[in-house]
Each structure stands twice: as C-alpha cells, then as structure tokens.
Amino acid sequence: MVAMTFTVIIVSGSMAFVFPFNLKTTGLHALMGFVFIALIGLHIFSNWKGLKNSFNKNNFFKAILPTAILTALFIWQPKPIQKILGLSNNLGAAQDMFVMNEDGMIYNYTPAPNYKLKLEVKAGKTYDKKAPPEIAIWLENKSAYHIKTLYTSQSKKELPYWAWKVKEYEKAKAESEQEKPEDVDDISGATPNSSFDPRDYILPERNKEPFYMLIEVNAKGDKNEFYEDQPSIIFKVEIDNKFPKAFQVLDIVGYSKFDPDEKTWDAYYPDEKLTTSLHLINSALLSIDRK
C-alpha cells in the first residue's frame, strides 16, 4: 500500500507541475501525502526495533544535510530554481486574486514567481456601491490582439468592446488549432505574435515587445440627455519591460462604439455627451514587481 500511495503522489505531483492549477489534482496530491505520512508512521511503529539500529549519527547527517540544503534552496528560490518553476503551467490558486470593496477593487495577477502585477481601481463619484458597474480587465499584445482576460463580470452585452476582442481571439485560436501540420512552413519556438500563452508576451525573458492592459467599465442604465444608456469607457496602459516602471496609471482612451462599415468595435475619444460614465472610476494604478 505504501508503494501504491507513493505512486499516486508521484503521478499527481507531476500532473500538478505540468498542467494548469486544478483543485482536484492538488487536493489528491495533498490528501495522499497525509495518507503516506500516516503509513510511514505505522511502518516505523511496527518495525521500530529493526529501524532504530540504522539511526546512528553518521546515517542521520547523511540524510538530513542534503534534505536541509534542498529545502533552503526551494524556500530561497534563486534564479535557476525560478527558471525551473517557470516551466510549470501550475501557477497556483493564487495566480489570480480579485477583491472588490466599497472603495473599488484590487486585482493581483502572477504569471510567474518573479513577475507580479497588481491593479488598484478606485471608485469614482458616480460609482454605485449597491449596483457596481460591469467591468472587464484584459491584456493585449503590441498588435492590439487580446491575449488574456484577467477578470470580467461576464456581461458581454454591457462590455461590447471586450466581448468583440475575445470573439476575435477565440476565432483566431480555433483557426490555428484546425491548421494541419503540412500547412505550417516552419516550426520554431514560441512567437509573441502567434502564441496563445500569455506568458510569452508578459515575461521579459520571453518577449521584448511592449504589451497592454485594458479596462472596460459600464454602468447599466446610466441615462443622460444624449444617451438612453451611456456607452462603456475604455482605459489603457502600455507595459514595456525594456523600460520597466514600478507604477503606471491607466488613462481613458475612449468610449466603445460599433463601426457598421468595418463591422468592428473601437474606442472613440470622449466628448461632452458623456457625463456620469466618465466618473465611474476615479483612478486605476498598475504596479509591477519584477524580481
């Protein structure tokens, strides 16, 4: 039973490293670990007389010294260890952390142990705490293509600009997955303009080109003399790892509007027809911790 339990721990641990975070896989690994500890305790209790003879000082230090060194390395996590961890697709349950309160919201995103983004959005004077506005936060590459949605309140109707970006992204991804191997001229490493892994755009060691963080915010039924329902507002900031900044402010780049000729959504510069919608967010501050 000890051998089978150890096998489950090895397999579940390998799956947890290779695949994105999954509560069932992580739970299986953790719970079987406790079972394994209990079985080891039972084994020691049942075979104590034979085992105690092997517990001399020489064997003890041979076992504890390499274990202590490895434990210290994994806790300290120098760059070689960070590179190994960066190969994992499991960035943990805390990769995305979203907290909303009366003052606004705080969003944390950790694409790698050495790269952490924190977005703090302060509520504006027209922000309704009882009925907060719909909001979407996402990343785009330098070509303005959606690469990852960080957070959304899931209302595509109220967030048309973000919804259109996601639709185009999903379309491109589906077409890429349907391509036959013989249709590909060359196979190489991850290319920032074609990869669907957001880390290929975010992490400095994978990409040297700038990328963008955007916010779309919209309050339902915010009527004024020009609109029955004012359009959503778009905020944006460029992130350039060549010229790293610890703090950056997202600026308003426009309001969402559909172009019937091009059949696309775009951000148009705000005019005097927009009133309360411009004050849903007081400020949006992005901080990046690059270790």
Report, as an integer, the average pLDDT of 112-140.
Answer: 91
How far is Cα 155 from Cα 289, in angstroms, rounded to an integer?
31
pLDDT for the residue numbered 17: 74
How far is Cα 235 from Cα 124, in angstroms, rounded to an integer?
14
Rg of the Cα atoms in the chain? 25
Q: pTM value?
A: 0.65
Please name the residue that has the structure tokens 């952390």.
Answer: 97
Looking at residue 136, what DSSP letter applies?
E
**pLDDT band, very low/low/confident/very high, at 137 (cuts 50, 70, 90):** very high
Report, as an integer, the average pLDDT of 235-241.
Answer: 95
Residue 98 clears pLDDT 90, i.e. is over it: no
Three-state DSSP state, 25: helix
Lowest mean pLDDT segment, chosen from 84-98, 207-221, 227-241 = 84-98
Cβ neighbours of 113 (radius 10 Å): 16
Q: What percent of the chain has pLDDT over 70?
A: 82
Question: Considering the chain, what is the average pLDDT of its residues?
Answer: 83
Q: Which of 140, 108, 161 is nearest to 286 (CA)?
A: 108
Residue 155 clears pLDDT 90, i.e. is over it: no
CB-based contact 98:121 (threshold 8 Å): no
How far is Cα 38 from Cα 26, in angstroms, rounded to an integer?
19
pLDDT for the residue numbered 89: 58
Report, as an integer, the average pLDDT of 13-30.
Answer: 74
State the virtual CA torsion across 201, 109, 232, 133 in degrees, nearest 10.
170
Lowest mean pLDDT segment, chosen from 21-35, 233-247, 259-273 = 21-35
